Amino acid sequence: MRTPYEARTSTLFKAMKAENDLKADSTLTRLLETYHVIILPDTDFSEKLTWCLEHAQSKFRDLSDHNGRAWYFQNEHDATMFAMKWA
């Protein structure tokens, strides 16, 4: 039986692999090229996600980035408001 620490570690590695698989997906990459991107330090993730879920008028996505976290917004207004809130 796995310890709680081992279970959390396993879940974290699965999430990291899934995110890397998404980055390698050429269809997703082409789609996100049409979105407005905001790159911020990878802090306050749950607060930023909650803001997006409550305020974004259109689609959004986040992915890890070597500079922090990249937040992609389909709607330019959403991207602008997000940047004003968090930048």
DSSP codes joined into one string, 43-56:
--HHHHHHHHHHH-
Nearest to 64 by CA among 37, 87, 86: 37
Express each pLDDT in 30-86 by its tens digit: 888 999 999 999 899 999 999 999 999 999 999 888 889 999 999 999 999 999 999
Mean predicted confidence (pLDDT) in 7-22: 60
pLDDT band for position 11 (50/70/90)?
A: low
Give the C-alpha separation, 71 to 41, whole Å. 11
Q: How many Cβ atoms are within 10 Å of 48's Cβ, its own excluded?
A: 19
Q: How many Cβ atoms are within 10 Å of 62's Cβ, its own excluded?
A: 19
Output the pTM of the full model: 0.72
